[in-house]
Protein backbone atom coordinates (compact mmCIF):
# COMPACT_ATOMS: atom_id res chain seq x y z
CA UNK A 1 0.00 0.00 0.00
CA UNK A 2 1.42 3.36 -1.03
CA UNK A 3 2.09 5.70 1.85
CA UNK A 4 -0.39 8.50 1.16
CA UNK A 5 -1.07 10.06 4.52
CA UNK A 6 -2.24 13.44 5.71
CA UNK A 7 -3.49 15.14 8.81
CA UNK A 8 -6.33 12.66 9.34
CA UNK A 9 -4.47 9.52 8.27
CA UNK A 10 -4.35 7.76 4.90
CA UNK A 11 -5.96 9.41 1.90
CA UNK A 12 -8.44 7.72 -0.44
CA UNK A 13 -9.28 7.79 -4.12
CA UNK A 14 -12.28 9.85 -5.24
CA UNK A 15 -14.10 8.44 -8.28
CA UNK A 16 -17.06 10.87 -8.35
CA UNK A 17 -17.96 13.68 -8.84
CA UNK A 18 -14.38 14.14 -10.15
CA UNK A 19 -11.45 11.73 -10.24
CA UNK A 20 -8.82 12.53 -7.62
CA UNK A 21 -6.22 10.01 -6.46
CA UNK A 22 -5.65 11.61 -3.06
CA UNK A 23 -8.46 12.99 -0.93
CA UNK A 24 -8.89 13.19 2.82
CA UNK A 25 -12.32 11.76 3.71
CA UNK A 26 -12.62 14.21 6.62
CA UNK A 27 -12.19 17.15 4.25
CA UNK A 28 -14.63 15.74 1.68
CA UNK A 29 -17.39 14.95 4.20
CA UNK A 30 -16.67 18.14 6.13
CA UNK A 31 -16.99 20.39 3.07
CA UNK A 32 -20.39 19.04 1.95
CA UNK A 33 -23.36 21.43 2.12
CA UNK A 34 -26.08 20.41 4.57
CA UNK A 35 -28.76 23.11 4.40
CA UNK A 36 -31.24 22.90 7.27
CA UNK A 37 -34.68 22.01 5.86
CA UNK A 38 -37.70 24.08 6.96
CA UNK A 39 -38.55 23.36 10.60
CA UNK A 40 -36.05 20.59 11.27
CA UNK A 41 -32.35 19.69 11.17
CA UNK A 42 -30.52 18.03 8.24
CA UNK A 43 -30.53 14.26 8.73
CA UNK A 44 -27.85 11.95 7.39
CA UNK A 45 -27.42 8.25 8.02
CA UNK A 46 -24.24 6.21 7.94
CA UNK A 47 -24.36 2.46 7.40
CA UNK A 48 -22.09 -0.32 6.18
CA UNK A 49 -23.40 -3.16 4.01
CA UNK A 50 -21.80 -6.21 2.44
CA UNK A 51 -21.85 -6.54 -1.35
CA UNK A 52 -24.94 -8.75 -0.95
CA UNK A 53 -26.76 -6.19 1.22
CA UNK A 54 -26.11 -7.69 4.66
CA UNK A 55 -25.72 -5.37 7.64
CA UNK A 56 -24.38 -7.75 10.29
CA UNK A 57 -22.40 -10.94 10.79
CA UNK A 58 -23.15 -12.84 14.00
CA UNK A 59 -25.40 -9.94 15.00
CA UNK A 60 -22.74 -7.22 14.65
CA UNK A 61 -21.63 -4.87 11.89
CA UNK A 62 -18.02 -4.57 13.09
CA UNK A 63 -16.40 -7.22 10.90
CA UNK A 64 -17.83 -5.58 7.75
CA UNK A 65 -15.94 -2.37 8.39
CA UNK A 66 -12.17 -2.57 8.23
CA UNK A 67 -9.69 0.28 8.50
CA UNK A 68 -10.93 2.57 5.67
CA UNK A 69 -14.48 2.31 7.03
CA UNK A 70 -13.26 3.36 10.47
CA UNK A 71 -11.67 6.46 8.95
CA UNK A 72 -14.89 7.36 7.13
CA UNK A 73 -16.98 6.56 10.23
CA UNK A 74 -15.04 9.18 12.22
CA UNK A 75 -15.02 11.65 9.30
CA UNK A 76 -18.83 11.44 9.23
CA UNK A 77 -19.18 11.65 13.02
CA UNK A 78 -17.07 14.78 12.86
CA UNK A 79 -19.83 16.66 11.02
CA UNK A 80 -22.61 15.63 13.44
CA UNK A 81 -24.09 17.79 16.17
CA UNK A 82 -25.96 14.78 17.54
CA UNK A 83 -25.89 11.04 16.77
CA UNK A 84 -29.33 9.42 16.77
CA UNK A 85 -29.09 5.70 17.44
CA UNK A 86 -31.60 3.01 18.40
CA UNK A 87 -31.46 1.19 21.72
CA UNK A 88 -30.98 -2.13 19.90
CA UNK A 89 -27.81 -0.95 18.18
CA UNK A 90 -26.45 0.62 21.37
CA UNK A 91 -26.81 -2.77 23.08
CA UNK A 92 -25.58 -5.05 20.27
CA UNK A 93 -22.68 -2.85 19.17
CA UNK A 94 -21.71 -1.97 22.77
CA UNK A 95 -21.74 1.81 22.30
CA UNK A 96 -19.38 3.90 24.45
CA UNK A 97 -19.13 7.70 24.56
CA UNK A 98 -18.87 9.41 21.14
CA UNK A 99 -15.50 11.11 21.60
CA UNK A 100 -14.04 13.04 18.67
CA UNK A 101 -10.50 12.00 17.69
CA UNK A 102 -8.07 14.85 18.23
CA UNK A 103 -7.38 15.40 14.51
CA UNK A 104 -11.04 16.37 13.93
CA UNK A 105 -11.30 18.93 16.76
CA UNK A 106 -10.02 21.98 14.81
CA UNK A 107 -12.50 21.47 11.96
CA UNK A 108 -15.40 21.17 14.43
CA UNK A 109 -14.27 24.33 16.20
CA UNK A 110 -13.98 26.14 12.83
CA UNK A 111 -17.57 25.11 12.01
CA UNK A 112 -18.73 26.39 15.40
CA UNK A 113 -19.56 22.88 16.65
CA UNK A 114 -19.05 21.49 20.15
CA UNK A 115 -15.93 19.30 20.47
CA UNK A 116 -17.99 16.11 20.70
CA UNK A 117 -21.35 15.21 19.19
CA UNK A 118 -24.08 14.25 21.67
CA UNK A 119 -25.56 10.76 21.53
CA UNK A 120 -29.38 10.55 21.37
CA UNK A 121 -30.64 7.03 22.07
CA UNK A 122 -34.13 6.00 20.96
CA UNK A 123 -35.62 3.52 23.41
CA UNK A 124 -39.06 2.51 24.58
CA UNK A 125 -38.01 -0.22 27.04
CA UNK A 126 -35.24 1.97 28.54
CA UNK A 127 -33.24 -1.24 28.88
CA UNK A 128 -29.98 0.77 29.10
CA UNK A 129 -27.48 0.50 31.95
CA UNK A 130 -26.95 3.89 33.65
CA UNK A 131 -23.62 2.62 35.04
CA UNK A 132 -22.24 1.71 31.59
CA UNK A 133 -19.27 3.53 29.99
CA UNK A 134 -21.56 5.34 27.60
CA UNK A 135 -23.10 7.30 30.49
CA UNK A 136 -20.27 7.30 33.01
CA UNK A 137 -17.50 8.31 30.60
CA UNK A 138 -19.33 10.88 28.45
CA UNK A 139 -17.92 14.37 29.15
CA UNK A 140 -20.39 16.45 31.23
CA UNK A 141 -20.90 18.91 28.35
CA UNK A 142 -21.96 16.08 26.05
CA UNK A 143 -24.33 14.15 28.29
CA UNK A 144 -26.21 11.49 26.35
CA UNK A 145 -29.84 12.17 25.48
CA UNK A 146 -32.54 9.52 25.87
CA UNK A 147 -35.45 9.80 23.45
CA UNK A 148 -38.43 7.89 24.76
CA UNK A 149 -42.23 7.81 24.79
CA UNK A 150 -44.77 8.98 27.38
CA UNK A 151 -45.58 5.43 28.50
CA UNK A 152 -41.97 4.42 29.28
CA UNK A 153 -41.30 2.91 32.71
CA UNK A 154 -41.09 5.76 35.24
CA UNK A 155 -38.49 4.07 37.47
CA UNK A 156 -36.07 3.36 34.62
CA UNK A 157 -36.63 6.84 33.29
CA UNK A 158 -35.73 8.38 36.66
CA UNK A 159 -32.55 6.26 36.88
CA UNK A 160 -31.46 7.37 33.42
CA UNK A 161 -32.39 11.01 34.10
CA UNK A 162 -29.54 11.03 36.63
CA UNK A 163 -26.97 10.42 33.87
CA UNK A 164 -28.71 11.72 30.71
CA UNK A 165 -31.16 14.31 29.44
CA UNK A 166 -34.51 12.65 28.70
CA UNK A 167 -36.80 13.90 25.96
CA UNK A 168 -40.27 12.57 25.31
CA UNK A 169 -41.59 12.23 21.76
CA UNK A 170 -44.72 10.15 21.15
CA UNK A 171 -47.22 8.32 23.33
CA UNK A 172 -46.79 4.52 23.01
CA UNK A 173 -43.68 4.49 20.82
CA UNK A 174 -41.24 7.20 19.88
CA UNK A 175 -42.49 9.27 16.95
CA UNK A 176 -39.22 9.74 15.05
CA UNK A 177 -40.41 12.85 13.19
CA UNK A 178 -41.31 14.50 16.47
CA UNK A 179 -37.98 13.38 17.96
CA UNK A 180 -35.99 14.93 15.10
CA UNK A 181 -37.97 18.19 15.36
CA UNK A 182 -37.30 18.32 19.10
CA UNK A 183 -33.57 17.78 18.51
CA UNK A 184 -33.71 20.72 16.08
CA UNK A 185 -35.44 22.77 18.79
CA UNK A 186 -32.51 22.05 21.10
CA UNK A 187 -30.24 23.77 18.56
CA UNK A 188 -28.82 20.75 16.70
CA UNK A 189 -28.53 21.53 12.98
CA UNK A 190 -27.06 18.21 11.78
CA UNK A 191 -28.39 14.87 13.02
CA UNK A 192 -26.46 11.72 12.11
CA UNK A 193 -28.28 8.43 12.46
CA UNK A 194 -26.14 5.31 12.83
CA UNK A 195 -29.20 3.05 12.70
CA UNK A 196 -30.03 0.32 13.19
CA UNK A 197 -32.07 -0.69 10.19
CA UNK A 198 -35.45 -0.54 11.98
CA UNK A 199 -34.80 3.04 13.11
CA UNK A 200 -33.79 4.00 9.56
CA UNK A 201 -37.01 2.37 8.33
CA UNK A 202 -39.01 4.76 10.46
CA UNK A 203 -36.92 7.75 9.37
CA UNK A 204 -37.36 6.77 5.69
CA UNK A 205 -41.10 6.35 6.27
CA UNK A 206 -41.24 9.95 7.44
CA UNK A 207 -39.06 10.96 4.44
CA UNK A 208 -36.40 12.39 6.73
CA UNK A 209 -33.29 10.77 5.19
CA UNK A 210 -31.68 13.76 3.47
CA UNK A 211 -28.35 12.00 3.01
CA UNK A 212 -27.36 8.34 3.10
CA UNK A 213 -23.69 7.53 3.54
CA UNK A 214 -23.28 3.92 2.55
CA UNK A 215 -20.12 1.85 2.82
CA UNK A 216 -20.16 -1.20 0.55
CA UNK A 217 -17.70 -3.81 1.82
CA UNK A 218 -16.19 -6.28 -0.69
CA UNK A 219 -17.60 -9.34 1.05
CA UNK A 220 -20.62 -11.62 0.66
CA UNK A 221 -22.09 -12.66 3.99
CA UNK A 222 -25.41 -14.40 3.15
CA UNK A 223 -27.56 -15.01 6.23
CA UNK A 224 -30.68 -13.09 7.13
CA UNK A 225 -29.44 -9.79 8.53
CA UNK A 226 -31.62 -6.80 7.73
CA UNK A 227 -31.12 -4.47 4.82
CA UNK A 228 -29.75 -1.01 5.60
CA UNK A 229 -33.32 0.31 5.84
CA UNK A 230 -35.80 -2.17 7.28
CA UNK A 231 -39.58 -2.12 7.62
CA UNK A 232 -41.85 0.79 7.02
CA UNK A 233 -44.17 1.20 4.07
CA UNK A 234 -42.50 0.34 0.73
CA UNK A 235 -42.18 3.57 -1.24
CA UNK A 236 -39.50 4.69 -3.69
CA UNK A 237 -37.48 7.73 -2.69
CA UNK A 238 -34.96 9.03 -5.23
CA UNK A 239 -31.35 9.90 -4.44
CA UNK A 240 -28.43 11.29 -6.47
CA UNK A 241 -24.76 10.59 -5.87
CA UNK A 242 -22.97 13.28 -3.88
CA UNK A 243 -19.64 11.48 -4.06
CA UNK A 244 -18.00 8.10 -4.39
CA UNK A 245 -14.69 7.29 -2.74
CA UNK A 246 -12.79 4.01 -2.70
CA UNK A 247 -9.95 2.39 -0.79
CA UNK A 248 -8.93 -1.27 -0.43
CA UNK A 249 -11.88 -2.39 -2.65
CA UNK A 250 -14.37 -0.72 -0.28
CA UNK A 251 -16.83 1.82 -1.77
CA UNK A 252 -17.97 4.92 0.12
CA UNK A 253 -21.13 6.34 -1.38
CA UNK A 254 -22.81 9.55 -0.39
CA UNK A 255 -26.40 9.75 -1.64
CA UNK A 256 -28.47 12.92 -1.48
CA UNK A 257 -32.27 12.85 -1.39
CA UNK A 258 -33.91 14.40 -4.46
CA UNK A 259 -37.34 15.81 -3.58
CA UNK A 260 -39.91 17.15 -6.04
Ligand X SMILES: NC(=O)c1ccc[n+]([C@@H]2O[C@H](COP(=O)([O-])OP(=O)(O)OC[C@H]3O[C@@H](n4cnc5c(N)ncnc54)[C@H](OP(=O)(O)O)[C@@H]3O)[C@@H](O)[C@H]2O)c1
- Site residues for ligand X per CB under 6 A: 47-48, 55-56, 59-61, 86-89, 92-93, 122-125, 127, 149, 173-174, 176, 194-199, 202, 226, 230
Smallest separation (angstroms) from ligand X to the CB of 202? 6
Smallest separation (angstroms) from ligand X to the CB of 21? 27
Smallest separation (angstroms) from ligand X to the CB of 80? 15
Smallest separation (angstroms) from ligand X to the CB of 18? 27
Q: Angle, to 10 degrees, between the axis of helix 197-205 and the axis of helix 176-185?
A: 80
Residue closer to ligand X by CB (options 4, 91) is: 91
Smallest separation (angstroms) from ligand X to the CB of 186? 19
Q: CA–CA distance from 245 to each of 13, 69, 191, 242, 254 (Å)?
A: 6, 11, 22, 10, 9
Distance CA 242, CA 257 (A): 10
Contacts 24+ apart (CB under 8 A), 169-172: 172/124
Residue closer to ligand X by CB (options 27, 175) is: 175
Residue closer to ligand X by CB (options 11, 195) is: 195
Residue closer to ligand X by CB (options 86, 107) is: 86
Q: Is 247 helix (H, G, I), strand (E, B) or coil?
A: strand
Residue closer to ligand X by CB (options 11, 50) is: 50
Q: Which helix (H) or strand (E) holds 167?
A: strand 165-168
Smallest separation (angstroms) from ligand X to the CB of 174? 3
93-116: b (≥16 Cβ within 10 Å) or e: bebebbebeebbeebbeeeebeeb
Distance CA 135, CA 129 (A): 8
Check if the beta carbon of residue 150 is closer than 8 Å to that of residue 178: no
Residue closer to ligand X by CB (options 184, 197) is: 197
CB atoms within 10 A of CB 177: 17
Amino acid sequence: VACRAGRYGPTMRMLLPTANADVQPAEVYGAAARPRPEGRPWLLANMVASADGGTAVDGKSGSLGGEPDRAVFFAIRAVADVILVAGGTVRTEGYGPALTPEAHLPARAARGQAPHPRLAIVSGSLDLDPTSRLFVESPPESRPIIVTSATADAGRRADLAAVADVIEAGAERVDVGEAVRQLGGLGFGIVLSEGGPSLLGQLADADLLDELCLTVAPVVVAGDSRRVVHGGVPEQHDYAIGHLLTEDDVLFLRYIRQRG
